[in-house]
Chain A
């Protein structure tokens, strides 16, 4: 393996791993803030118990998301220094702004929320979690703007003298047409993840005899989770459809690769449910298809034209493959790895539909206060957050692998972005150290989550009514301490 392969694997592993924790973080902050607000307004004990319970689970998850996020910020420079030099003028700004606007907000107000139960009035305490949520949204906005620019570079010019892309219009980057459909898609997916998490954990506890006394509370929580899941799922589907249309326009190769569509279809392109191609990915051997559906997904009309892989490959080779000194040149092929894009696209959608279906079923089973006695409710419930989380992973694998061989579409190939000065030893050390550390942390995290899920929500404990800074009794023990 050379540095390029190692750096690719590291980026893939580290980023997919990081994003296992991110959607739940984004979504749960909103759910927890909502639950706490409900408690502040109604005074119902269950809302506070659920706030604290999901707050605890959230913090276990959030911690890993934060610490693995540090690596994200550093590894562009470490492994992809030529990429950083080439795009820094455009790509660096959203990253810097993300830190200033989002990370400070999240970390500061989360600290206040965790330790502030006996230091802040109730409304202000709940507001802290809303601000954390605002921070996660801001963070998503800026990092997705940066990513969308890689998919569809806008608001820049290529400066031949400095040999890099330079920003000309910040607002164009912020409101890139890819960005405005990607941001809601990712955020809705995050809400869906949180919805399934609340639903799944509550369904599991609802089925446990040990927690029988709390059944009404978990019943309520199941329904909250299911409603969040379904509403968010609808949002995911609508924005996903819009994304497909933008993708067909700006990254036709990705759409074709998602479908395994080898030849251009002038009208009524079929949607493939299952395709087997030749090993070199150039030809279709066997396919099960739904007529005209792809045309509809890609263009909004059943007789729209969808370009195929083979003509696009030739077109790209002609446009970009003539100048070997260009950063857009590759000796290889301007086609992504078709089986990966094809299957990741289907796994993403399949898992998403599965989660929505599961949530709908459970919502129906618990309708009008019904108390289902089916044994598999807990198992089905717990499988849903796993499905939504993996759906997000596959979505990212699709969107990033589908862009290949580009790191910035049409401007720079991934192979020309790697750090030239980094040795195989350094890169391999980093890959081995980080992946083994991450594996260990995953084991610890999952074990902790399981332990705390099994415990269930703690009994109600009335938080003290205080003014900002705490009560007058300076000797009272802290309500919360590490």
Chain B
């Protein structure tokens, strides 16, 4: 296989990792006001992702860096083209990350309430916008002969793009609810499971329409297979949830997201950013790629270190494998304020 193809696949893997992992912590963040009934339950939810959210977020940094190194033209066109949505995502990720670390540092309700808003919106915005961005990448955007994006923000806000956004939004919410059901105990666990099934039904409907639409636009036999399996996996996950099998339910949404992303990348290949202006201007795995030497160096690094990273990240999840319930939350927070 060509190294450019290998790197296209590796970048797909990084995005799969990012969406499968940060997807659930976006979901947990978005559902904070819906699932938690009081301060202690909010803390239960936040603590399910406390030790891991930062590690999950690194996947997007590595995806960005790998795109820069392996496909510099893709990185340059995408990041300068999708400027304002990316800025919004950056702002969201900034306030959200700080919110996890700062929320418990002071006791006042207004302080916590503001950081809660940062968590909620900081999770909602990227969950929506990543879908909009990916739908537009797959569908193609206006790109000129100099590989410059020539559209505006409104070019990206087309029906297909917005539908893509709603799909990631609802899928991540479902995935997050499944995670809460898997990682908590008590009342909130049951509420999370019920909610996951309800949002999941909406997500399934939206995802089927979106994936079918993608398949009609640019799909191949392989992408069709991935999409069908993704849909089946989601249905399986929801059924498992209704039977109280939280582990399988979470695996279901995890696999759904992974297969949907793989399907989108398969549908995209061999382009990395198709041009709607003229197919001749499309960025492809060949004309956007770095040199063979750079790709070879990077391949060695990836081959040696990716298994190590996966190993210690998996170990973290194992260390923090226990469910968290209301009675596990210390009665005073770090600022010394008793929890209501």
Separation in Å of the A363 CB from the closest CB of chain B?
Answer: 32
- Tell me, yes or no, whether A478 is within 8 Å of chain B by CB: yes
- Tell me, yes or no, whether A357 is within 8 Å of chain B by CB: no
Contact of B329 among A76, A451, A478 (CB under 8 A): A478
Alpha-carbon separation in the docked complex, A48 to B284 (Å):
55
- Tell me, yes or no, whether B50 is within 8 Å of chain A by CB: yes
- Tell me, yes or no, whether A238 is within 8 Å of chain B by CB: no
A67 touches B98 (CB 8 A): yes
B86 touches A78 (CB 8 A): yes
- Tell me, yes or no, whether A116 is within 8 Å of chain B by CB: yes
- Tell me, yes or no, whether B65 is within 8 Å of chain A by CB: yes
The proximity string for B residues 54-86 relative to A, scoring 1 for CB distances below 8 Å and 0 otherwise, is 110110011011111111110111111101101
Separation in Å of the B44 CB from the closest CB of chain A?
Answer: 9
The proximity string for B residues 79-123 relative to A, scoring 1 for CB distances below 8 Å and 0 otherwise, is 111011011001101110110111111100000000000000000
Interface residue stretch chosen among B145-153, B173-181, B251-259 = B145-153
A84 touches B75 (CB 8 A): yes
- Chain B residues with Cβ below 8 Å from A107 are 54-55, 57-58
Separation in Å of the A466 CB from the closest CB of chain B?
Answer: 11
A421 touches B329 (CB 8 A): no
Separation in Å of the B246 CB from the closest CB of chain A?
Answer: 17
The proximity string for B residues 293-320 relative to A, scoring 1 for CB distances below 8 Å and 0 otherwise, is 1100110011001100100110010111
A59 touches B101 (CB 8 A): yes
B72 touches A85 (CB 8 A): yes
Contact of B62 among A71, A96, A476 (CB under 8 A): A96
- Tell me, yes or no, whether B162 is within 8 Å of chain A by CB: no
- Chain A residues with Cβ below 8 Å from B62 are 96, 99-100, 103-104
A111 touches B294 (CB 8 A): no
- Tell me, yes or no, whether A276 is within 8 Å of chain B by CB: no
Given contacts A88-B290, A111-B316, A419-B80, contact A98 B65 (CB under 8 A): yes
A421 touches B319 (CB 8 A): no
The proximity string for B residues 29-54 relative to A, scoring 1 for CB distances below 8 Å and 0 otherwise, is 00000000000000100110011101
Alpha-carbon separation in the docked complex, A14 to B334 (Å):
31
User: How many residues belonging to B are interface residues under a CB distance threshold of 8 Å?
Assistant: 79
Alpha-carbon separation in the docked complex, A114 to B150 (Å):
46
Closest B residue, CB atoms, query A87: B72
Closest A residue, CB atoms, query B97: A67
B313 touches A104 (CB 8 A): yes
Separation in Å of the A365 CB from the closest CB of chain B?
Answer: 33
- Tell me, yes or no, whether B322 is within 8 Å of chain A by CB: yes
- Chain B residues with Cβ below 8 Å from A116 are 51, 319
Interface residues on A, range: 35 or more
Separation in Å of the A145 CB from the closest CB of chain B?
Answer: 13
Contact of A104 among B55, B87, B302 (CB under 8 A): B55
Contact of A112 among B51, B72, B91 (CB under 8 A): B51
- Tell me, yes or no, whether B291 is within 8 Å of chain A by CB: yes
Alpha-carbon separation in the docked complex, A272 to B198 (Å):
73
Alpha-carbon separation in the docked complex, A426 to B156 (Å):
15
- Chain B residues with Cβ below 8 Å from A426 are 83-84, 87
Q: Which of A415-437 contact B (CB under 8 A)?
A: 419-422, 426, 429-430, 433-434, 437
- Tell me, yes or no, whether B217 is within 8 Å of chain A by CB: no
Alpha-carbon separation in the docked complex, A98 to B90 (Å):
19
The proximity string for A residues 69-99 relative to B, scoring 1 for CB distances below 8 Å and 0 otherwise, is 1110110111101101101111111011111
- Chain A residues with Cβ below 8 Å from B321 are 469
For A56, A87, A110, A481, the residue with the greatest tally of chain B CB atoms inside 10 Å of its CB is A481
B68 touches A170 (CB 8 A): no
- Tell me, yes or no, whether B243 is within 8 Å of chain A by CB: no
- Chain A residues with Cβ below 8 Å from B330 are 477-479, 481
Given contacts A115-B50, A419-B80, contact A470 B322 (CB under 8 A): yes
A77 touches B90 (CB 8 A): no
- Tell me, yes or no, whether A319 is within 8 Å of chain B by CB: no
Contact of B319 among A56, A120, A168, A422 (CB under 8 A): A120
Separation in Å of the A137 CB from the closest CB of chain B?
Answer: 16
The proximity string for B residues 317-333 relative to A, scoring 1 for CB distances below 8 Å and 0 otherwise, is 01111101001111101
For A92, A422, A437, A478, the residue with the greatest tally of chain B CB atoms inside 10 Å of its CB is A92
- Chain B residues with Cβ below 8 Å from A469 are 318-319, 321-322
Alpha-carbon separation in the docked complex, A104 to B312 (Å):
9
Contact of B43 among A422, A470, A482 (CB under 8 A): A482
The proximity string for A residues 452-479 relative to B, scoring 1 for CB distances below 8 Å and 0 otherwise, is 1000000000000000111000111111
Closest B residue, CB atoms, query A468: B319
Alpha-carbon separation in the docked complex, A426 to B297 (Å):
36
- Tell me, yes or no, whether A444 is within 8 Å of chain B by CB: yes
- Tell me, yes or no, whether A224 is within 8 Å of chain B by CB: no
- Tell me, yes or no, whether A13 is within 8 Å of chain B by CB: no
Separation in Å of the A446 CB from the closest CB of chain B?
Answer: 13
B55 touches A482 (CB 8 A): no
For A111, A120, A170, A477, the residue with the greatest tally of chain B CB atoms inside 10 Å of its CB is A111
- Chain A residues with Cβ below 8 Å from B322 are 469-470, 474
Closest A residue, CB atoms, query B101: A63
Separation in Å of the B158 CB from the closest CB of chain A?
Answer: 19
- Tell me, yes or no, whether A167 is within 8 Å of chain B by CB: yes
A433 touches B91 (CB 8 A): yes
Separation in Å of the A28 CB from the closest CB of chain B?
Answer: 15
Alpha-carbon separation in the docked complex, A441 to B98 (Å):
9
Alpha-carbon separation in the docked complex, A137 to B315 (Å):
23
Closest A residue, CB atoms, query B78: A77
Separation in Å of the A420 CB from the closest CB of chain B?
Answer: 6
A84 touches B68 (CB 8 A): yes
Separation in Å of the B21 CB from the closest CB of chain A?
Answer: 12
Alpha-carbon separation in the docked complex, A453 to B233 (Å):
51
Assuming A99-B61, A482-B50, what are 19 further A-B pairs, CB within 8 angstroms?
A: A66-B97, A70-B93, A74-B90, A76-B68, A81-B76, A89-B291, A92-B67, A95-B65, A99-B58, A99-B64, A100-B301, A104-B55, A108-B316, A421-B149, A434-B90, A448-B105, A475-B328, A481-B104, A482-B47
What are 20 sample pairs from A and B whose C-beta atoms fall under 8 A apart?
A59-B101, A66-B54, A70-B61, A70-B94, A77-B68, A77-B79, A82-B76, A88-B68, A88-B71, A92-B72, A93-B69, A96-B69, A99-B62, A100-B62, A115-B51, A166-B293, A167-B297, A168-B293, A426-B87, A478-B329
Q: Which 10 A-B pairs have the closest CB atoms?
A: A88-B72, A77-B79, A92-B69, A99-B62, A92-B68, A96-B65, A81-B80, A63-B101, A111-B51, A81-B76
